[in-house]
Amino acid sequence: MTAQSVERTLETVFRLESARIVATVARIVRDLGIAEEIAQDVFLAALEQWPGSGIPDRPGAWLTAAAKHRAVDLVRRRETYARKLAEVGRTLPEESYDPEPSGPGDIDDDVLRLVFTTCHPVLSAEARAALTLRLVGGLRTDEVARAFLVPEATVAARITRAKRTLAKAGVEFEVPYGQERAARLGSVLEVVYLVFNEGYAATAGDDLLRPGLCEDALRLARGLAALMPGESEVHGLAALLELQASRTPARTGPDGRPVLLADQDRRRWNRLLIRRGFDALARAGDGRGYGPYALQAAIAACHARAVSYEETDWAVIAGLYGRLAVLAPSPVVELNRAVAVSMTEGPAAALALVDTLATAPGLDRYHLLPSVRGDLLARLGRTAEARAEFERAAELTRNKSERALLLARARDAHRPGTLPP
């Protein structure tokens, strides 16, 4: 077995298992920084050992066991371990460590525990999201920066400061209860949503999709819904992710290239996930009190109900985006509202809205702004201008599949299909 094949396998396993390994170790050592170091150490150990011994049948389990063993050794060496042992009244087996059983209302999923820990209120909202995406989503620093539309150096500084702040404050890998849990919920929902988005439309790389991230986010959203059944926005987020994920089979063609929403074969949409999404949206309430996630889920539900792109109820979608803009104002929401407006009032009306966003903070490097503008210009017959916008959008994206799509649209700048796949 070559070192190169081992390295490729480890890269895949890292994307799939790093969050779970960090979460498992953090529950033992009670320190996120140390947990991340141990996770990195065991991956390096595997890189050294596996070329000679072979890749284990269950590489994730091998890495987790190795990380737990190192974590237990570290705990045993701590000078304060005896005092802590006396306080909690437990002993450690020689070869493994299993924390005490969860209590009523506890969180059974270690990764979900990790999310709540990295969303501790001692951190700023920006730092919570950046750190969670890095540790839970397994995103590189540049990918996190792309998600926030900010410079990479800014995100790197946020992550470094966040780890130091957690360590200085003595924040443990804990399970919040009651009001404290509710206080962290907004940040938790945000990062689960961001993890899903990175899987749904990867900011960089060769492929449009990173299915593992979508699956992780879905599992976390479902876990939150079971943990907090009385929270409307938890169900709203779960509904949104179920409905968005339902489109995955139709979002890329046989060659792996993205397929625009207008061109997707809706027969390939996953009907089970659509039903789950509708059920979750029903649990979010009757619509009058929807929060931002439930409103986005309602928009996704409009697409799911339409048997074709042409039969989509764009007027309802435009109204929902208007409500969303009031609850959670952002230039991205306004850009999406402009797309819906273009389908109800025409491309000229939408172009006027889009042009007001040209100087909005963060959108100067957002590839979907020139992409939407290009589509509107093409529909107005301004082909040369449309082509230039699509080419600019292609320059801005770091995803190869998306770039290929945008360049193809530049060559054929007359078809509608603004909404991404």
* DSSP per-residue letters across 44-90: HHHHHHHHHH---SSHHHHHHHHHHHHHHHHHHH-TTHHHHHHHHT-
Q: Average pLDDT, stretch 39-44?
A: 89
Tell me the sheet residues that pair with 398.
Answer: 204
pLDDT of 117: 85
How many Å separate Cα 192 from the centre of its chain? 5
Q: Average pLDDT, stretch 351-355?
A: 96
Sorted by sequence, the CB contacts under 8 Å of residue 104 that are 6+ apart come out as: none
**How far is residue 28's CA from residue 68's CA, in Å, rounded to a whole number?**
8
pLDDT of 382: 94
Full 3-state SS string of 87-141: HHCCCCCCCCCCCCCCCCCCCCCHHHHHHHHHCCCCCCHHHHHHHHHHHCCCCCH
pLDDT of 207: 61
Note whether 369 and 420 are within 8 A (CB). no
Q: What is the pLDDT of residues 129-150, one digit of tens each?
A: 889 888 887 778 887 887 676 8
Helix axes 59-77, 32-53, angle to 10 degrees: 130
pLDDT of 82: 53
pLDDT of 92: 45
The label of the residue with tokens 């150490």 reads 41
Higher local confidence (pLDDT), 277 or 118: 277
pLDDT at position 104 over 50: no
pTM of the model: 0.75
48 confidence band (pLDDT: 50, 70, 90)? confident
Q: Average pLDDT, stretch 191-219?
A: 77
**How far is residue 218's CA from residue 18's CA, in Å, rounded to a whole number?**
17
Note whether 419 and 350 are within 8 A (CB). no
pLDDT of 202: 66
Q: Which two tokens stand for residue 188?
A: 């938790």
Q: Minimum mean pLDDT among 3-7, 272-276, 292-296, 299-303: which range?
A: 3-7
Q: What is the pLDDT of residues 331-350, one digit of tens each?
A: 999 999 999 999 999 999 99
Q: What is the pLDDT of residues 145-166, one digit of tens each?
A: 876 768 899 999 999 999 889 8
User: For the chain, what is the mean pLDDT?
Assistant: 85
Q: What percent of the chain has pLDDT over 90?
A: 42
Q: Which two tokens stand for residue 99?
A: 């924390």
323, 242, 232, 324: which is closest to 285 by C-alpha? 232
pLDDT at position 181 over 60: yes
Q: What is the pLDDT of residues 52-98, one digit of tens each?
A: 888 888 888 899 999 999 998 888 876 554 555 556 555 444 444 44
